[in-house]
Amino acid sequence: MKKIFIIIPLFLSGFLFSQKKPLRRPVKKTGITEKFNYHDEFKKISDEIMMNGTAYNNLGELTKGIGPRFSATPGYTKAVQWAERKLREIGVEKIWRQEAKVPVWIRGKESLQIKTENGTWKNIRMLSFGNSEGTQGKDLTGEIVLINTTSDFNEMSWGQLKDKIVFVNLPLDPRIINTSDSYLITAKSKLISPSVIATTGAKALIIRSLTTANDDIPHAKMIYYEPDDKVKIPAMTIGAKSADELEKLLKKQKVTAKINMTAEAKGETTNPNIIAEIPGKKDDKVIVLGAQLDSWDFGEGAIDDGTGVVQCIEVLRTIKSLGIDNNHTIRVVLYANSENGGQGREMYAAYVKNKDEKHVFALGTDAGGYSPRGFSLDMSPQRRRQIFEWKNYFLPYGVYDFDQTEAIQDISPLKKINVPLAELVVDTQRYFDYHHSVEDTFDKVNKRELLLGAVVMTQMIFMIDKNW
């Protein structure tokens, strides 16, 4: 809070100054200079969305009406049809599909039981990693070995883990205030890589869910086996409370696990990205907004990333409703297969490169629809400085953080072709309570926060369109 109190007076001084001297449009060929007050334009955008925005109702339709929309399932097909209908309803005329190859992975039945030496089998809630190998429906049993740190792992000999079931109890670091940073640091640990653990001769991997919640809800994670893996071991997650209880047991006595998973891969199919755009009035350069249309197979996918989907649609609706004459083409891409492969984003980036399309800017939204706080800017210093100059326009809408520099969502492959990237930054303190779990449901989303995110996204797109 102290940081905010220090920054706000500085912003307000700039705000008052900018009111006295509104920015101007370039001189037209007629020689007439037109005053262009961005504060007024921002207010028009905000009023339209806060009064007439449809994003919240759309999210209810997507999550409650369709539900899970995992890759290569009927749910995803229904989501595609829904998105196309919503885009047509707001008056977007140019809508098309872009097919991407996606894996067909079926979770099937899954169970985890544990037993102490003199005890009976106890069921533990679990979720298989996405794309994990199963046990072919057979029981896989083994003694559990606890690992907490990389040092623990490095100090163990190959024989200590051979034929064991490795349990990694590695919580998100509560000292890191930015929960996204804490998540990424933990997610990149080699301790939660089945390929790394398999090299020790271990039979399976169990990890503590990557969550900030103190409950017993398991949170899914994607798996990546290495091409040269000789053995692909099954991997699963368990809730935070189960993880802590299991660690306490292991410090006192031997514990055995029994795993049964029918998960299996069944080749590939195709799922489409949905692309819609409002053509530019001045040129065919593109400003793109992106969000993932798919979700995990067990949940509604409200915060991840139904909120992003409906915010992107809301941006286009607002541009149409206000009759904004956009200089560049404003395009929305709703990506396929973000959760268990990322093929949709790779397909779109390849399309842009092959078509040699000029993309001016890309904005991603995949952080749960919480209160907007800023934009992470992954672009050249010159471009960053230009956006910094607009801070005072965004401040009345609670947006002040322009200091972050990573945009890691589905727009990220566009960085390889030098597209300036930005990502909506929100207050993520609650995001990882629900992320990748059955608790990711419509009721976790606040209508006002969701609409405010759409407001500042539209404002940013407006500024880019008028100034780049």
Tokens representing 434 are 């629900």
As a whole number of angstroms, the distance between CA 124 and CA 113 comes to 6
Give alpha helix (H) positions in 90-169. 150-155, 158-161
pLDDT score, position 145:
96
pLDDT score, position 47:
98
pLDDT, tens digit only, all 468 positions of the chain: 433 333 334 333 343 333 434 444 443 443 333 357 999 999 999 999 999 999 999 999 999 999 999 999 999 999 999 999 999 999 999 999 999 999 999 999 999 999 998 899 999 999 999 999 999 999 999 999 999 999 889 888 778 899 999 999 999 999 999 999 999 999 989 899 999 999 999 999 999 999 999 999 999 999 889 888 889 999 999 999 999 999 999 999 999 999 999 999 999 999 999 999 999 999 999 999 999 999 999 999 999 999 999 999 999 999 999 999 999 999 999 999 999 999 999 999 999 999 999 999 999 999 999 999 999 999 999 999 999 999 999 999 999 999 999 888 899 999 999 999 999 999 999 999 999 999 999 999 999 999 999 999 999 999 999 999
Label residue 244 left, alpha or beta by phi (over 0 means left) and psi (-120 to 50 means alpha).
Answer: alpha
Q: What domains are there in the chain, each with its CATH number?
A: 2-102+268-467 (3.40.630.10), 108-262 (3.50.30.30)
| The model's pTM | 0.89
pLDDT score, position 417:
95
Residue among 314, 268, 269 nearest 291 (CA): 314
pLDDT score, position 468:
96
Label residue 225 left, alpha or beta by phi (over 0 means left) and psi (-120 to 50 means alpha).
Answer: beta
Tokens representing 467 are 């100034």
pLDDT score, position 7:
38
Tokens representing 338 are 């973000």
Helix-strand-coil percent breakdown of the chain, rounded to 5? 40, 25, 40
